[in-house]
Amino acid sequence: MYSDYPRIVVKPPGPRAKKLIERERSAISPGLGVKLFPLVPERGRGALIEDVDGNVFIDFLAGAAAASTGYSHPKLVKEVQEQVARIQHSMIGYTHSKRAIEVAEKLIEMAPIERPLVLFGMSGSDAVDMALQAARFSTRRPWILSFIGAYHGQTYGATSVAAFQSSQKRGLSPLVPNVVWVPYPNPYRNPWGINGYDEPDELINRFLDYLESYIFAHVVPPDEIALLIAEPIQGDAGIVVPPEGFFAELKRLLDEHNILLAMDEVQTGIGRTGKWFASEWFGVKPDLLIFGKGVASGMGLSGVIGRRELLENLTSGSALLTPAANPVVSAAAKATLEIIEGENLLENALRVGEFIKKRLGEMKEDYEVIGDVRGKGLMRGAEIVKPNGKPDLELTGKICWRAFELGLILPSYGMFGNVIRITPPLVITEEIAEKGLEIMERALKDALAGKVTHRVVTWH
């Protein structure tokens, strides 16, 4: 579809994009989201997006890591069109759905949980709420543990357990009560000042001691805690990868106190890191696993995969959502899982991900402003810092803005807004990735040379 890419025919945002952005301001609440770029997509193919002005961009965002099979994949299009022509809606809360059953069976086959059951939702946020409900219902315990830096979504329950940016909670209290937050073991930037790359065991032990000696001993008794919810790799906090042995050690401690572990794999799951679920990288079997985003290539399906004894006795209808796993999104999910498997996209994520890691590592050697490079598969982050090592939010935003002008959708995220996030569609090729990284490096040079006056605005 696109033989030349990226292709900038008019400096973005172009005239058509500007008109639509202005129309949106008068019609849609700003509460809908943080506009990272003045981009109005018109169509796409694979890992490329064309906007309403005819500009073609390389996409390193994938719609918040949701467009797992890229855009307009022929198999996905065919399955969705055929399903709409048959029947577009049936409500799985009241009737049965062949499509939903097929998807559930496939997820059960993939999940690192023995004899699981599945609940279906529409977004990662409501799936997080379902996991919280299941944990409290099955354990009859009131307290939840979560991590500082965690982004779990925007429903009331998901917002209540998140701790990504405090602005998420401004003016919304009272939120769901009985939540305690603990520091995530970030090897690069943690409150204990430990270099977790050089001393991973020390970082793990320091965290476990904190949990036992401070939280369990002085904040909340462990026999009152239902659940600890965690991202295996923190996404919006800046692609933070914990030490390899962390979750195995944490699970052992939680099991001693009969505390459940829920892995929020909304962003890390469905092949994003080169495995079906990132929990597999850490050798841990969670009690509950939350999925979403990429499972239907962004078409509105999510859910919870959990141990049978935690989900089989839920009150009838307590997880009922009218559009959940409707035939069309279920068809999209079935097609997505078949595409990932049939086209070896897990292997592609590993191969192209290693290429991206290598190129980012080379840039880190050449540019002191890149303080850390991390991630797995096609979930990569580069942390931009000042000479003193502190986060450089301004420079990060300028790099991403300049990249956008040059035809690359390159988002910035992180707890401090200083991490360049690379989460392209799983179908991205090494050739497209290389062109994107060339643009990123040029944008970095231009920003350092003082040639960039605008910057991307991110969460804050």
Provide the token pair at 242: 């914990």
Looking at residue 199, its amino acid is E
Closest CA to 420 of 452, 372, 376, 348: 372
What residue ranges define each of the domains in the chain, with the CATH number in brackets?
Answer: 15-63+344-449 (3.90.1150.10), 75-343 (3.40.640.10)
Cβ count near 111 (within 10 Å): 22
Residue 295 pLDDT: 98
Angle of helix 393-405 relative to helix 430-448, nearest 10 degrees, comes to 120
Dihedrals φ, ψ of 179, to 5°? -120, 135
Bridge pairing between strands 41-45 and 419-422: unpaired
Residue with tokens 């405090």: 166
> How many angstroms separate the CA atoms of 317 and 421, rounded?
38
C-alpha dihedral over 155, 157, 160, 164, to 10 degrees? -50
Rounded CA-CA distance 64/425 in Å is 10
Please name the residue that has the structure tokens 């006795």: 313
Is the alpha carbon torsion for 435, 438, 444, 450 positive or negative?
A: negative
**How do residues 26-56 score in pLDDT, each as one tens digit?**
999 998 888 999 999 999 999 999 999 999 9
165, 460 in Cβ contact below 8 A?
Answer: yes
pLDDT in tens, the chain (460 residues): 688 899 999 999 999 999 999 999 999 999 888 899 999 999 999 999 999 999 999 999 999 999 999 999 999 999 999 999 999 999 999 999 999 999 999 999 999 998 999 999 999 999 999 999 999 999 999 999 999 999 999 999 999 999 999 888 999 999 999 999 999 999 999 999 999 999 999 999 999 999 999 999 999 999 999 999 999 999 999 999 999 999 999 999 999 999 999 999 999 999 999 999 999 999 999 999 999 999 999 999 999 999 999 999 999 999 999 999 999 999 999 999 999 999 999 999 999 999 999 999 999 999 999 999 999 999 999 999 999 999 999 999 999 999 999 999 999 999 999 999 999 999 999 999 999 999 999 999 999 999 999 999 887 6
Distance CA 238, CA 260 (A): 25
Write the DSSP string, 426-453: TT--HHHHHHHHHHHHHHHHHHHTT---
Cα–Cα distance measured from residue 304 to residue 127, given in angstroms and rounded to the nearest whole number: 6
The answer to whether residues 419 and 235 touch, using CB atoms and an 8 Å cutoff, is: no
Give the whole-angstrom CA distance, residue 222 versus residue 408: 47
For residue 175, the SS3 value is coil
221-254 confidence digits (pLDDT tens): 999 999 999 999 999 999 999 999 999 999 999 9
Q: What's this model's pTM, rounded to 2 decimal places? A: 0.97
